[in-house]
Amino acid sequence: MAERAPGLPSRPLGRTGIPVSCIGFGTAPLGDLYARLDERTAIDAVATAITLGVTLLDTSPLYGHGLAEHRCGTALRIAGQEGARRDGVVLSTKVGRWMAPREGRGDGSNFAGGLPHRAVVDYSFDGTLRSVEQSLLRLGTDRIEVLLIHDVDVWTHGGQMEQRFREAMEGAYPALHRLRAEGVVKAIGVGVNESAMCARFARAGDFDTMLLAGRYTLLEQAALDEFLPLALEKGIGVMLGGVFNSGVLATGAIPGAKYNYRDAPPEVLDRVRRMEAICAAHAVRLPDAALWFGLAHRAVASVVLGGGSPEEVRRNLSALERPVPAAFWAELRAAGLLRADAPVPA
């Protein structure tokens, strides 16, 4: 691994003050999310991110049923052998599921590949500690900087969401609170797909950070109503995932473009086409605009971008070299494609 590149901007993770790179590396693709990845390519994607100055790695037991954590751990060990400091990386993973290694994967996984282990949903105190222990073993490390309660939302649990919320606040939250008090982790939070749940958790407990996926983007800004102001009030550092809404804001309105992990509906495709026309008028790439928009809110510490290859990582990071002109944001607003109160880059 080459020496880490200097200069990737960092921001404090809310009130914790932990510095994280403004672009983080999301590892869902490393769990064979849409396709089975070549092992060396997947590991090299992590290594490339670290080499280019990314300090925040976000993973989860769910991603490939443990495979993404294994690949992250391998990349971190290789980086350590080649001189990169482990304490220069902020490692974030999640709780809410542990893996049963002898029960088979079963149905319901959206991952094309991954490990043959069944994911057991468990937000209890003991289940949380089991999840953390398994993650430490897969990652090959003795510490994790950030722990997030994963997927307590309607998107994941439907009509069971209220029950899962109670389980999380009565089980997972006390476990994470204890781990933070003991210095095992530096920051605790939640990782969900709904801004309303972020706000609910923020009011229910003492959280340092939250990962909001897909709900604060060029297509969706409802998080401005409650959650993002609350995050500023409480000093909660926000990590934004899914700023491309799972694909359409990266690919544009092409046939088969994805929105929320499904084929984008006609109304979304139409809205994206209108954005693309404004992009063309200002010589702006749509994915660049999506990234810069996410970074513009003061509560956001890092925009977490997935990547399954070194080339994809480099392409994501290159957006920082292409600032978006003010006239572009003004035209988006004038066209009714962006809320008037949504912050944009200065």
Catalytic residues: 58, 63, 94
CA dihedral over 260, 261, 267, 273, signed as positive or negative: positive
Which of 7, 9, 24 minimizes the C-alpha distance to 238? 24
CA–CA dist 289, 227 (Å, integer): 22
> Using only C-alpha atoms, what is the Rg of the chain?
19
β-pairing, 97-100 vs 90-95, is unpaired
Three-state DSSP string of 4-56: CCCCCCEEECHHHCCEEECEEEECHHHHCCCCCCCHHHHHHHHHHHHHCCCCE
Phi/psi region, residue 153 (left: phi>0; alpha: psi -120 to 50; beta: rest), is beta
